[in-house]
Chains A and B, each alone.
Chain A
Amino acid sequence: MMLQRFIITISVVGCVAALGACSSTGPLTETDPRDPYEQGNRNIFAFNMGVDDVILEPVARGYRSLPDAAQHGITNHARWTSYPSTAVNSTLQGKFENAGLATIHFLINGLTLGFVDLTEDDDDPVREDFGQTLAHWSTPQGPYVMMPFIGPGTARSHGGWLLDSVTNPLGWLGEPTAATVQATSGPVSAVTFRGNNFDTINDVKYNSADPYARTRSVYYQYREGQLRDGDTSEPSAADDAFDAFLNDEDSQ
């Protein structure tokens, strides 16, 4: 819990300081209207890349050298710690089936602290966070914000993350094991995420002409996919962009 509070405090303080430092740079170097604090965000991104160089990438490399069974176990555990939050947020969004699924998976796999998936169920609960709940309640997404240690997001998604950290039902259990699990869930999730997406993240980091801009673009598209829940009945932002482009091409 202490560790989690420390990361939250550092993130918020670092973010405010970096964004404050850039507030006078004006819109000259702003490259996306969704990102009004771009220069500050770029500074934080550079900091995060430094942390990745020194800590996350080497640790994730170590994680990848573990036997497959160990990697699966740790990934399962990281996913398991998110089930209480998924259950709460699914309920708040009216997705009761997903909430039930998350609760069942949490209770059954709790016998092994989530390291082993005892359900043997192909139908895994879909991760739902408070940022998605806020979007469901039509809260505006706000500006793009790069947080130290945490990474990319919008004001809404970071606010949701903060609420998820505070309201995670694991913390309500009030017993030492739950507290330890909750305290380590952030770093464990970070390592498993980095390890499971090792090549994809390295591709962005080392093969991009502008890693910051690519990260921002990927974040928005991926998040849109999460918020749409796979619904293809309405055109996505990408569909609209291609439609406008092809019509524009024809009119020339």
Chain B
Amino acid sequence: MIVLRRMLAVFLLTIAMPHMTMAEERIDESTELVNRLVTHIQGLVNSNPDAMTIRAETDAVIHQYFDYDLIARFAAGNAWRSASDDQRSRYKTVFREVMLSLAETQFDYFKTLEYKAKAVIPKGRKLVIVSGTIHDRSGQFPDATVNWRVSTKPGKPARIIDIEIENISMLITQQQEHTAIINQNGGSFEALIEALTEQANDIRSGKFN
């Protein structure tokens, strides 16, 4: 009976081991990705870059650490399916432009921020949440919890798809805003592209600042 139990335990461990290792690998890969991103941004902040460098570096950061294709598809919501290839391509270009313009105009905020890693939580097989705290040395903002949602699809490199600050997901917010614009305009994907083009122009023109 004892031998049988041992055999069963060994058998179960043999089955479970590869899965445990895979889970650990996903956790390590996700943590490493976020750490590299934070180090990258800190390096950029310390180099006192000009507007053009910020723009170019942000573009490189999106390419290197984020799954932009997945982000764009998620942000467009259900309308993505019915959009033409041309519309999808223009949407991706203008949405990226909004992100770059925001990074350019709001880069100063990063100068006083510090990030401290806290926990890593796997969510299902394709997602890992890397959790940490942002501390503002200037004291302007209180400490905030940040969750990085990392896509860990089997066979693909880990990539960040969302940043959640104090329970507010950047990507869910974008999706709900984009869906509202499409629905307000009778389901027109074209209207969303126009609204984003206008938004990018407004941000660049410094209406906010």
Contact = CB atoms under 8 A, between A and B. Distances in A.
Asked whether A and B interact, the reply is yes
Contacts of A239: 123, 127
Interface stretch (B34-42, B54-62, B84-92, B174-182): B174-182
Interface residues of B, number: 43
Contacts of A2: none
A216 to B, nearest CB: 7
B116 interface: no
B23 interface: no
Interface in A201-234: 202-203, 205-210, 212-214, 216-218, 221-222, 224-225, 228, 232
Nearest to A220: B176
Given A246-B127, A246-B153, A207 B172 contact: no
Contact of A207 (B73, B167, B203): B203
A222 B203 CA distance: 25
B168 A242 contact: no
B48 interface: no
Contact of B199 (A207, A212, A235): A207
Interface string B95-125: 0001000100010010000000000010110
B203 A221 contact: no
A54 interface: no
Contacts of B25: none
B181 A213 contact: yes
B208 A222 contact: no
Contacts of A236: 167
Nearest to B151: A246
A238 B172 contact: yes
Interface of A: 29-32, 68, 199, 202-203, 205-210, 212-214, 216-218, 221-222, 224-225, 228, 232, 235-239, 241-243, 245-247, 249-250
Interface of B: 70, 73-74, 98, 102, 106, 109, 121, 123-124, 126-127, 139, 149, 151, 153, 161-162, 164, 166-169, 172-173, 175-181, 183-184, 192, 195-196, 198-199, 202-203, 207-208
Given A207-B202, A214-B173, A221-B172, 17 more contacts: A31-B183, A32-B180, A68-B139, A206-B208, A207-B203, A208-B177, A209-B199, A213-B177, A217-B177, A222-B167, A232-B121, A238-B162, A239-B127, A246-B153, A249-B70, A249-B73, A250-B126
